[in-house]
Structure 1
Amino acid sequence: MDERILIVDDEASVGQFLSIMLEREGYKVEAVLSGKEALEKIAENPPQVVLADLRMPEMDGIELLTRIKEEDPRIAVVIMTAYGSLESAVEAMRKGAFDYVMKPFQIEEIKLVIKRAIEERKLREENLELKRRVKQYELKEIVGKNEKFQRVLELAKKVAPTDSTVLIRGESGTGKELIAKAIHNMSPRANNPFIAINMAALPEELLESELFGYTKGAFTGATKNKEGLFKAAEGGTILLDEISEASPRIQVKILRALQEKEITPVGSTKTIKVDVRIIASTNADLEKMVAEGRFREDLYYRLNVVYIHLPPLRERKDDIPLLTNHFLKKYTSLYNLPPKKISDETMKILLEYSWPGNVRELENAIERAVILSEGDVIKPADLPEKIRDRFSVGGVSDQVSLSGLTLEELERRYILQVLDETGWNKNRAAQILGIDPSTLYRKLQRYGLSKSGSVRKETGQ
């Protein structure tokens, strides 16, 4: 039997008596005389159950219970109390104690309570493992056999069971949030919330209150306290999408959340402890931004513990047939349509197109084709015109190499092309690009784009 019991009582005789009795049951038992000693033992080697006296000098059983739950919520805490302290025992139950026993107690009662605590923990862990396996099975929903993409999935599987911070980088539409969700779903945190927020979608003041919460009276309209997304994701994972768009002030607060595991709500001077895993994603060159002083170097290194690069679709074209069939099944089922297939000529076009919008653009194209096509075969005429014409970003022929273009230049040209095609309807363009209108506005400012601009066609020379 590997179950460990920690007894905390300022009366040494109680600890000695319980140790003898419980060791006879096969448990590994340690006894300490104070809450401080108990916390030190828990930090070294967490037990399954803590049996703590309610009334102790310096740190009583209630305070010890609170500290234990902050350190490791899985530990079952059983409170020992005298009859006159029944009210305090009930308070302990409200604060998360597994159970309480009244002094003077029968040893059989103690044995029974400890047995129940261990069995319930085992059951919770088995359920969590089962759910983790189910979530791991869901990874099969991520389609791709390409060697580069398979390496991404293997890395996601390796990092998932840990609490390491992950930085996911890739062009828009490559599936950064999908990978972040997969990491969460395969992690011990899978039972708890996964929350994603687009850092570029909100102005700084609103973003700060959304992330960290606020107190009543912090600003006009703050009529009550509100917890932020970091607290809402307690025990789970938060994805900070487009982390490159975070202002210097927000960067400082995120850094504190990473280093100290604590946040400060807007309008408050008190910090709040948080237990949340942080995953960040971006399509920007953070190293360049650090060099230019636009992104904190210390935050960059805190985020970049495990780095995952998602290849663009043009670098995994062998996945296009798999993805196409996946989206065909998805949307024919969604719209209650009969099964459809792709003609050879249509597939050739899909394989030759450079997909500047990546998997998201392919999915949109297949959804459109499923809706508009007549019959059970998707023909070239069912594809968007720009794909039929086999032109990529800025009218660049797919035959032209894009190896000389930076990621930012590629994004700039694609945004300009979509804006031109929508007659500079920014809301429609943002919808096609798969980003928030406010994000599009920021990118227009960053790249200095205006309606008077034009898309240059490359000659390849």
Structure 2
Amino acid sequence: MSATKGRILVVEDEREMRALLEKGLARRGFVPTVLGSADEAFPLLETEEFDTVLTDMRMPGMDGLELCERIVLNRPDIPVVVVTAFGSLETAVAAIRAGAYDFVTKPVDLDALVLVLERAVQHKALREEVRRLRRALGGVSADGGVVGESPALRRVYELIDRVADSDASVLVTGESGTGKEVAARALHARSRRHDGPFVAINCAAMPEALLESELFGHARGAFTDAKAARSGLFVQAHGGTLFLDEAGEMPLALQPKLLRALQERKVRPVGGDTEVPFDARIVAATNRDLELAVEEGRFREDLYYRLNVIGLELPPLRARGNDVLLLAQRFLEHFAARSGKRVVGLTPAAAQRLLAYTWPGNVRELQNCIERAVALTTYEQLTVEDLPERIRDYRGPSNLGQEQDVSELVSLEEMERRYIQRVLETVGGSRTLASRILGVDRKTLYRKLGRRNAGAAEDKDEKSST
């Protein structure tokens, strides 16, 4: 049995109109309950659940405006759509001021009415989802990093729990902004090393000589400014976790020294003549394709396998569904508290915009979006107007939901081939750049394109390198 579009309580005093609405809405997938007066409606609302109320404005006894006011006061979760006489703008304005979600005019166009009711039902569902997600936030860390109920994120934390007490190295991968350091900290917090230090370093943030000194330490007099001996981060992380962020950017010349340290569990400080043992778990992170880097000679294969004993891939935010709203609510509470503003939630319309957007910048982009919105808002709830323009105006694929000539449709294989060809053309035929953008190795790229296209791409690469 197919799901219904929602339960609609219809309040209409005219018998013929009631019959028309009941039959028309039922045919369009709704479950209507029809009543002849507003006095009958409110007792029913106290005992049964409805997604939307559709009420005529002018009725004997309690009119639609009074019914709307009572519903807004006692059941604010149920949106009310009011039917007004054609051209009665004052009545429509009065209904909106009374808290009505929307209004339609007589004579009623059933197709237009269905669109309004669908939006109202979705509005109610989003409000309920926002409230549910706010309740689910209890006990979650303030940085919002471990917030999530999606199957994709649950799989990540199930794996973290399974490997937390192991000393095996972990390689955390995922797009930029997905929260790789947060996952590393969660791994540390759940491990038997949680009382030890969590030491982090960005391997892309410093030159090779300084990075070597930071990791391994240095002896006194090892270089001009080395006025005293200093222990490196491997030793500082003793008993805890060393997090190597952006490990894929580590200079090639430094990689053998890192490999030896991981194998021997000892480090030799720069300028020193003795090795110092350490006991730290290694967690590395990268948004690069290290397999491709190995193939291209930019990353040592033996070091890759030493770091990637356990692989932990973080999903992009666009694959995490309603986690977007959970994270948004957490960030909202954090930034509202920090700024001293009373901002308690999102309007359903704003929540809908957040869910529709694809978040190329992932959690980091969402965090910046909410920080900006909290700073700009003048209300207790973030509205659509508080969101950045790119999110407000995002509409998704332009052809979605539109009729299309079936002859224009192609297979997934053909669509993939066309996209790969487009990427190759954009990067001037370079198979290396195309592989990196597509997230596949070159052998896979050749297989997908076929021998002829792959050979052409290789020819262009060879010409560009000479």
More deviation, 278-287/339-348 = 339-348
CA contact under 8 A between 2:292 and 2:436: conserved in structure 1? no
Which one of 231, 235, 240 corresponds to residue 236 of structure 1? 240
Which one of 421, 437, 456 corresponds to residue 409 of structure 1? 437
Partner of 1:151 in structure 2? 155
After superposition, what is the alpha-carbon deviation per residue over 1:353-383, rounded to whole angstroms, capped at 9, x for unaligned?
A: 1101101110110111011101112112211
Which one of 342, 345, 350 corresponds to residue 346 of structure 2? 342
Q: 1:387 to 1:274 in 2, by over 3 A?
A: same
Which one of 371, 376, 379 corresponds to residue 375 of structure 2? 371
CA contact under 8 A between 1:171 and 1:407: conserved in structure 2? no
Partner of 1:387 in structure 2? 391
Which one of 296, 302, 310 corresponds to residue 298 of structure 1? 302
CA contact under 8 A between 2:140 and 2:147: conserved in structure 1? no
For the residue of structure 1 that corresponds to 2:231, the secondary structure is coil
Q: 1:387 to 1:184 in 2, by over 3 A?
A: same
Partner of 1:263 in structure 2? 267
Letter in 1 for 2:170: V
Q: CA deviation at 1:408?
A: 4.9
CA contact under 8 A between 1:391 and 1:398: conserved in structure 2? no
CA contact under 8 A between 1:212 and 1:227: conserved in structure 2? yes
CA contact under 8 A between 1:354 and 1:398: conserved in structure 2? no
Q: CA deviation at 1:391?
A: 7.4
Q: 1:397 to 1:382 in 2, by over 3 A?
A: farther
Letter in 2 for 1:243: A
CA contact under 8 A between 2:170 and 2:310: conserved in structure 1? yes
Matches within 5 A, 1:77-226: 142-226=146-230
Letter in 2 for 1:176: K
Q: CA deviation at 1:389?
A: 2.3
Aligned equivalents of 2:309 and 2:199: distance in 1?
Answer: 20
Letter in 2 for 1:321: L
Letter in 2 for 1:157: D
Matches within 5 A, 1:244-323: 244-323=248-327
Aligned equivalents of 1:216 and 1:191: distance in 2?
Answer: 31
Question: 2:362 aligned with 1:358, yes or no?
Answer: yes
For the residue of structure 2 that corresponds to 1:317, the secondary structure is coil
Alpha carbon RMSD of aligned pairs, Å? 2.7
Q: CA deviation at 1:292?
A: 1.0
Aligned equivalents of 1:154 and 1:199: distance in 2?
Answer: 28
Q: 1:261 to 1:397 in 2, by over 3 A?
A: farther
Aligned equivalents of 2:266 and 2:201: distance in 1?
Answer: 19
Q: CA deviation at 1:340?
A: 2.5
Q: 1:281 to 1:398 in 2, by over 3 A?
A: farther
Q: 1:143 to 1:368 in 2, by over 3 A?
A: same
CA contact under 8 A between 2:215 and 2:233: conserved in structure 1? yes
CA contact under 8 A between 2:197 and 2:237: conserved in structure 1? yes
In the superposition, the TM-score normalised over structure 2's length comes to: 0.55
Q: 1:206 to 1:159 in 2, by over 3 A?
A: same
Aligned equivalents of 1:241 and 1:302: distance in 2?
Answer: 16
CA contact under 8 A between 1:168 and 1:176: conserved in structure 2? yes
Q: 1:258 to 1:157 in 2, by over 3 A?
A: same
Letter in 1 for 2:219: T
Q: CA deviation at 1:387?
A: 1.9
Q: 1:169 to 1:234 in 2, by over 3 A?
A: same
CA contact under 8 A between 1:165 and 1:305: conserved in structure 2? yes
Aligned equivalents of 2:245 and 2:399: distance in 1?
Answer: 30
Letter in 2 for 1:212: F
For the residue of structure 2 that corresponds to 1:324, the secondary structure is helix
**Structure with bigger gyration radius:** 2
Q: CA deviation at 1:193?
A: 0.5
In the superposition, the TM-score normalised over structure 1's length comes to: 0.56
More deviation, 331-340/213-222 = 331-340
Q: CA deviation at 1:261?
A: 0.1
Percent identity for Structure 1 against Structure 2: 48
Aligned equivalents of 1:305 and 1:236: distance in 2?
Answer: 18
CA contact under 8 A between 2:235 and 2:278: conserved in structure 1? yes
CA contact under 8 A between 2:200 and 2:245: conserved in structure 1? yes
Q: CA deviation at 1:410?
A: 8.4
Aligned equivalents of 2:377 and 2:173: distance in 1?
Answer: 35
Q: 1:369 to 1:386 in 2, by over 3 A?
A: same
CA contact under 8 A between 1:193 and 1:235: conserved in structure 2? yes
Aligned equivalents of 1:242 and 1:303: distance in 2?
Answer: 12
Q: CA deviation at 1:409?
A: 3.5
CA contact under 8 A between 1:352 and 1:398: conserved in structure 2? no
Aligned equivalents of 2:352 and 2:253: distance in 1?
Answer: 49
CA contact under 8 A between 2:218 and 2:231: conserved in structure 1? yes
Q: CA deviation at 1:234?
A: 1.0
CA contact under 8 A between 2:222 and 2:271: conserved in structure 1? yes
Aligned residues: 273
Give unpaired runs (5+ residues) of structure 1.
1-135, 412-461
Letter in 1 for 2:390: K
After superposition, what is the alpha-carbon deviation per residue over 1:61-94, rounded to whole angstroms, capped at 9, x for unaligned?
A: xxxxxxxxxxxxxxxxxxxxxxxxxxxxxxxxxx
Partner of 1:68 in structure 2? none
